[in-house]
Amino acid sequence: MPCFTMADLSGLWERGRKLCCPWGAPSTTSISCSLADVMSEQLAKELQLEEENAAFPEVVAAAEGPFITGENIDTSSDLMLAQMLQMEFDREYDAQLRREEKKINGDSKVSISFENYRKVHPYDSDSSEDEVDWQDTRHDPYRADKPTTTPRRGFIGKGKDITTKHDEVVCGRKNTARMENFAPEFQVGDGIGMDLKLSNQVFNALKQHAYSEERRSARLHEKKEHSTAEKAVDPKTRLLLYKMVNSGMLETITGCISTGKESVVFHAYGGNATEDKVIPPECAIKVFKTTLNEFKNRDKYIKDDYRFKDRFSKLNPRKIIRMWAEKEMHNLTRMQNAGIPCPQVVILKKHVLVMSFIGQDQVPAPKLKDVTLSSEDMKKAYYQILNMMQQLYRECNLVHADLSEYNMLWHDGKVWLIDVSQSVEPTHPHGLEFLFRDCRNVSQFFQKGGVAEALNERELFNAVSGLNITADNEVDFQAEIEALEKMNEDHVQNHGKKLSTFSGDGDPPIYDE
């Protein structure tokens, strides 16, 4: 075992301390610097650049420039100083973003980027963004990048470069720009980023189509505002109803109780009675639809009626609806004077007819097709309808023209007739044809209902009209009806007046239960 002296051990300890002890003296000596050098901004910038060059050498190369060194820059301008400061801040901000990217991404194959958060400030423009309206600086997609001026007269350019106001390219761009003058409802598409050029033929076709669509839209709007297709309450109808309530004639309007192809019926409570008019406790408001789409054959019932024939040819379709309401008012008045059970007319305002309500407590009387009657009541209803048809033909000089179980109500143990706006006189060119159709509907309904005494349509027709047409089959029967209608029409053309009654063998028989 070797022996060491104290001097040898001290030397070894000193040498080991210098080599492996962290508190040992450094091998290199640091460069001394003064306090002025430490406080120097230039030294701080150099140290910062050295750090960024070590981490991002390409970024520093791109960032070097006059804004960093300050050489050859006129710093007397406040704007230039502000731009330099902002550029320095943005550069530091971008460097911080890149450091964050490197820290987050690391060695991952999938990386994220903060490029969208970088600060980009173009300082080449002399104008400020706050001073210029964005609408004045936005790009016009319908204008060429280098627009050429075209004089209103003459031409510009020489030789092959001559350009007139009729140039195809210039006119095409002008036509495309003029599409913006079309109505807002007319969609012309999006031409952003496209140099569109419309020929005159295409532009004129689009313009004509745009005008047509604008007029069609206006017509639809007018039809919607002035029609009564939706529940028959347009602004004008609503105003009429408000006036009736405000005048005290009606107390309140509760709601709709029935809808049909020609009208809508509302329920209302009657108001105060006047000196010349008695208001029933409950009223039915019949609003005739001003659209002719659902009931287009109205003129078949009204144009040949001598009471309205002269006025029919001079009116527009909307006023014909008022005449249709007036027609029902006159027919109901005739039936009321003859004692036939029917609604009582209260007042007529344009296309709104107010009548008495057939029912009680807002519940309308059921139609004959919806009510279940006993055999005795069914027989009673049949004879009552037969007497009403005869009375309607003889005393009122009317044919219902739409009589069926849908237009007859059962209330207080008897039948009530409604919907007589289409009723015509027997001397109408189609009056006997309508009467035969009514007889067929009534006969078939009561025969199916079990009424043994119910006559067939031909017997019922003779019983109502008293014409006593003898025919073995229905075809010959209808042929004789058409012959009678033709005879009446010829008499009108020759003598200028209607026959009071058709010739028969006498008054029609009265059937009693």
**Residue 359: left if φ>0, alpha if ψ -120 to 50, beta else—which one?**
left
CB 99 within 8 A of CB 55: yes
Q: How many helices (H) and strands (E) does the chain have?
A: 17, 11
Q: What DSSP line would sit under 199-247, residue for residue?
A: -HHHHHHHHHHHHHHHHHHHHHHHHHHH--TTTT--HHHHHHHHHHHHT
> Whole-angstrom Cα distance, residue 434 to residue 439?
9
Q: Is 467 exposed, middle or buried (0-12, 13-18, 19+ CB in 10 A)?
A: buried
**H or E, element range at 408:** strand 408-411
**C-alpha to C-alpha distance for 463 and 385, rounded to whole angstroms:** 12
Catalytic residue among 234, 402, 419, 438: 402
Q: Which of 239, 253, 259 is nearest to 282 (CA)?
A: 253
| Residue found under tokens 């980009």 | 120
Buried b (16+ CB within 10 A) or exposed e, 164-188: eeebeebbbbbbbbebeebeeebee
Distance (Å, rounded) from C-alpha 48 to C-alpha 59?
A: 13
74 near 61, Cβ under 8 Å?
Answer: no
Q: Any bridge partners for residue 270, and if so which?
A: 250
Query: What gap in Å lies between CA 220 and CA 175, rounded to an integer?
Result: 29
Total residue count of the chain as it appears in this document: 513
Q: In angstroms, rounded to a whole number, what is the distance separating the alpha carbons of residues 179 and 199?
A: 12
β 250-259/282-288 pair status: unpaired
Active site residue 402: yes
Three-class SS of residue 96?
A: helix
- ∠ CA 485-489-494, nearest 5°, is 145
Q: Which residues contact 272 (CB under 8 A, 6 or more apart)?
A: 248, 249, 279
Q: Is the dihedral of CA 459, 465, 467, 473 positive or negative?
A: negative
User: What residues are labeled active site?
Assistant: 402
